[in-house]
Structure 1
């Protein structure tokens, strides 16, 4: 995100539509004709404005009441570019698919990941031989998503769906299993390299590390596991004990009636005494065809709500009356004898009650972290996907006296840019409260250097895109991300599945080498492991350090290797996993959570005078059980096609010089970066602009050779 996909596309269309009349050398042979661009509604005007700024096209937006007029202009060949939204195209696909388009461009092309969606089916009918897609997250959840995208853009390029599943999908997933036989691993490596080679025939990929990495100060993605409050733990346990969840957990056990069938096949298919079940089937007391699996999603939502804030499980006054009654009954059941501590089972209208962090583990940690950050002049982006959680956090910020802005799905598009500009330019604006799902024009919040994601999303791309609202071109400070998770809750499973999905994406798209942590295999009933299946979703993790134990087990087996084959250095502190690089640059007064200085300077020792006992006490004071950096768990570094591990090792050194220029000086200031970058340019015999352009076009081998020559010359001097 933020690397100019829109302008690249306009430049490409200028060439193929022969718009660059001043320079005939830039002409590309092609027939002048009509172009269709599909994009989210929120960026329709952005596309129109960029065409006006960077090109000389006749552009029309097929949206709203004047759609028929656009069709008339198309018939008269007075319009070259037609821009429409996903929803409009889906609703009027029979009209737009009758037109023969010269080029079709799909923005946010990952929307084509689901072959069963109506949008995908509508796109199959588009009449064109030139199809292009723009996306920053080509794969989000499953390897098969790659097939859906590429089979639309270049039909047949990856074979048939069944061939793709058997030849790529299954081997790659099974080769990543922790206890996979060596033969499986070898096959997976061969198929991985083959898939990457095929994809790169159709894929032009640009990353921040490869393009503007030398202009930015970097980003750290910290995952922080916060202890739930005692009340949260009790409520969470009561939720797991509800008859609906017990029905799901015990579904495969023998039925108590003596039948040879399992409970789900016999007497326990329905849960007539369940609060959630009885509401879902209020019009059908015999249940539905999906029973009891229709309960999975509603129960998961309730567990996630408890993990975030107990107020969320109470009735929402915006819901229908019958649903409010059901939610009030459920709240009474899970609050039990603690109901008076949370002000009853009705929605709390008290400002002081809602803004109090006493019964919310993550809010208690956030309260103390924000106090120290703002004291040091940091600016914060605070994300949540729940509007009700945003309401609670808003009251929390008001209570603390912080100056903030807020943006969510209800914020009018006309006001979004002014909110963003005001936050970026105003020193008094300390916090930007924003929905994880809010997108569109202008959300470039580069004045913030702290990013907090309050609740994780099942789709890792959502959280990564939220981080990039701050970490993009124009950011002048080092960005530190904090993902807050409720330890011992469903959120740990959400995060470990994020790791699994990110690793599969890195393997399939980039050909990276990933550590093998999990026994579970996606969509495989035989190897559900610790990640997949209903029983894992509703496990009681309160007495476990779930994520920590998985990583620790990996270390004990001697399999924890990074992309270059080196072992990862991890400290085990009385049952709490704390990586030596966790929460770098947090810089809170004397009870610092971590180290001051850069990654290299603190990777082998604690900050001077800072003992293990002090570290443990600091974590306890903040209500944090353990933490690690996501980069230490998932291979997030840049990698190139066909690049051996030895090259990847050298590449890390390149990043120290080019992306973090001064590998000797401990504090990475912008001025130091510029000086070192200038020295390398002078050694190369180039001006700064010329050298920057050379970096963008240089191959990995050329960069490695430059690094070796420069370091050798530096040692001689």
Structure 2
């Protein structure tokens, strides 16, 4: 693509080494073409330091500027960066590049590289429109999921790469989105010619390999669905909420966001009743001295606790006996708090990563988990810990709850099912 002066998408399946391939490209440009940048790499916050570490490992000759910190710290990092060879590669996050977009737009970049490029799938977003106007000679998008919900997301990526080629949103929609939507919904027969047309149009700009084609020795992945009943308290809260007049009125209105809010309340009930109706209960998962001193109370509390947690306890005990290590994903920060109390009570050694974890701590946590087999569990929020990180120290993934977007769960499970994994991976939902 570089030789033909094209921009493109590296869309290899998650876990196949898009990061190292990109670093190899930059090394080739520097050593063989004399092109030392500067390059701008925009990544999710959770993997900023991982990119820095990998670049320093494989390209020690590069001057790396990892751009994060407070507004004052970032201003200091920008001092002198207009000078030639002030740095070769700048790594920053989507959030910060938007906050300081004026400074980034004033600079000319050799390569603009976006990791987890599905972050710009919405062409109406401020992020997409701001990055579109950056001054760069070449652009490269990295994503294991170039298409999630609709083909128009693909247009957003392609227009970002080549606005003069994929110029018309309307024409792209007429060519691809409408017919394919019809096929998916079953309103018309499968159109093999249309799919071939899509492949033909994208082939020069998109490279995608999947695990089964590239890595023949890749460990297998098994998925398990574990069904759990509601406890008596959960069933009461669930039925009582659904019976309320306000709930029935909201459902009857059909207002999308209001219905979504109802679903969120019901998810809280299903995860743990205290998320929906916070009140003190005698539970082994809530630290109360009397529970620790009276065995009968522990048993009584266990019987009234959410069956989901009881099932998780049984599963973790089995996995620990078998020498496995576990990633537990959830959507809710408050559920992470409950899981922390649960793991503490049962004596499991664990780490935690969520949206509030500082940038410099995230990489340290991941390295510690992969290196220290004494750490049994890593609990993470799906959106913060499910993208771009390498956690091959685990061989089991538990989704305590599922994301609205199944692609997010697919990305999360590939944190451990990737190159470098030596054991079969089991996924529990």
TM-score (norm 1): 0.51
Asked whether the equivalents of residues 46 and 363 of structure 2 are also in contact (C-alpha less than 8 Å), the reply is no
Corresponding position: 1:13 with 2:26: yes
Q: Distance in 1 between matches of 2:306 and 2:68?
A: 45
Q: Corresponding residue for 1:475?
A: 421
Select which of 147, 152, 164 maps to 2:160: 152
Q: Secondary structure at the match of 1:148?
A: helix
Q: Distance in 1 between matches of 2:325 and 2:273?
A: 28
Corresponding position: 1:308 with 2:271: yes
Corresponding position: 1:462 with 2:425: no
Q: Corresponding residue for 1:57?
A: 62
Q: Secondary structure at the match of 1:105?
A: strand
Q: Corresponding residue for 1:245?
A: 247
Q: Secondary structure at the match of 2:109?
A: coil
Q: Distance in 1 between matches of 2:106 and 2:360?
A: 34
Q: Corresponding residue for 2:321?
A: 375
Asked whether the equivalents of residues 152 and 177 of structure 2 are also in contact (C-alpha less than 8 Å), the reply is yes
CA shift digits 1:446-498 (9 cap, x unpaired): 23322111000012222122212221223222111011xxxxxxxxxxxxxxx
What is the Cα deviation at residue 168 of structure 1? 1.4
Asked whether the equivalents of residues 219 and 479 of structure 1 are also in contact (C-alpha less than 8 Å), the reply is yes
Q: Secondary structure at the match of 1:103?
A: strand
Question: Structure 1 residues 84 and 241 mapped into 2: Cα distance closer, same or farther (>3 Å)?
Answer: same
Question: Structure 1 residues 73 and 414 mapped into 2: Cα distance closer, same or farther (>3 Å)?
Answer: closer
Asked whether the equivalents of residues 111 and 138 of structure 2 are also in contact (C-alpha less than 8 Å), the reply is yes
Corresponding position: 1:396 with 2:304: no
Question: Structure 1 residues 308 and 357 mapped into 2: Cα distance closer, same or farther (>3 Å)?
Answer: farther
**Structure with the greater alpha carbon radius of gyration:** 1
Q: Distance in 2 between matches of 1:357 and 1:202?
A: 57
Q: Corresponding residue for 1:407?
A: 353
Instruction: Specify every segment of 5 or more residues in structure 1 that has no aligned partner in the other structure, as ranges.
Output: 21-26, 253-291, 316-327, 329-341, 484-717
Asked whether the equivalents of residues 37 and 106 of structure 1 are also in contact (C-alpha less than 8 Å), the reply is yes
Q: Distance in 2 between matches of 1:371 and 1:77?
A: 55
CA shift digits 1:262-288 (9 cap, x unpaired): xxxxxxxxxxxxxxxxxxxxxxxxxxx
Q: Which has the higher contact order (CA 8 A, sep 6+)?
A: 2
Question: Structure 1 residues 385 and 69 mapped into 2: Cα distance closer, same or farther (>3 Å)?
Answer: closer
Q: Secondary structure at the match of 1:225?
A: coil
CA shift digits 1:326-384 (9 cap, x unpaired): xx8xxxxxxxxxxxxx849xx97748589846342322322333333333333222222
What is the Cα deviation at residue 39 of structure 1? 2.1
What is the Cα deviation at residue 68 of structure 1? 6.2
What is the Cα deviation at residue 69 of structure 1? 5.9
Task: Write the mapping of 1:148-547 to structure 2, written as runs, cut at 5 A.
Answer: 148-158=156-166, 160-178=168-186, 180=187, 184-187=188-191, 189-212=192-215, 214-251=216-253, 295-315=258-278, 343=281, 350=288, 356=302, 358-439=304-385, 443-483=389-429
Asked whether the equivalents of residues 385 and 412 of structure 2 are also in contact (C-alpha less than 8 Å), the reply is no
Q: Secondary structure at the match of 1:247?
A: helix
Q: Corresponding residue for 1:43?
A: 47
Q: Corresponding residue for 2:131?
A: 123
What is the Cα deviation at residue 61 of structure 1? 3.6
Asked whether the equivalents of residues 43 and 440 of structure 1 are also in contact (C-alpha less than 8 Å), the reply is no
CA shift digits 1:116-140 (9 cap, x unpaired): 2221111121123411111222223
Q: Distance in 2 between matches of 1:420 and 1:69?
A: 26
Q: Secondary structure at the match of 1:140?
A: coil
Range with greater deviation from structure 2 (386-395 or 409-418):
409-418
Q: Distance in 2 between matches of 1:363 and 1:146?
A: 39
Q: Secondary structure at the match of 1:303?
A: helix
Question: Structure 1 residues 445 and 166 mapped into 2: Cα distance closer, same or farther (>3 Å)?
Answer: same
What is the Cα deviation at residue 156 of structure 1? 4.4
Question: Structure 1 residues 403 and 468 mapped into 2: Cα distance closer, same or farther (>3 Å)?
Answer: same
Question: Structure 1 residues 241 and 168 mapped into 2: Cα distance closer, same or farther (>3 Å)?
Answer: farther
Q: Corresponding residue for 1:283?
A: none
Asked whether the equivalents of residues 44 and 388 of structure 2 are also in contact (C-alpha less than 8 Å), the reply is no
Question: Structure 1 residues 224 and 196 mapped into 2: Cα distance closer, same or farther (>3 Å)?
Answer: farther
Q: Distance in 2 between matches of 1:149 and 1:442?
A: 19
Asked whether the equivalents of residues 404 and 429 of structure 1 are also in contact (C-alpha less than 8 Å), the reply is yes
Q: Distance in 2 between matches of 1:98 and 1:416?
A: 30
CA shift digits 1:683-716 (9 cap, x unpaired): xxxxxxxxxxxxxxxxxxxxxxxxxxxxxxxxxx
CA shift digits 1:591-632 (9 cap, x unpaired): xxxxxxxxxxxxxxxxxxxxxxxxxxxxxxxxxxxxxxxxxx
Q: Distance in 2 between matches of 1:300 and 1:193?
A: 39
Corresponding position: 1:94 with 2:102: yes
Asked whether the equivalents of residues 386 and 411 of structure 2 are also in contact (C-alpha less than 8 Å), the reply is no
TM-score (norm 2): 0.82
Q: Corresponding residue for 2:4?
A: none
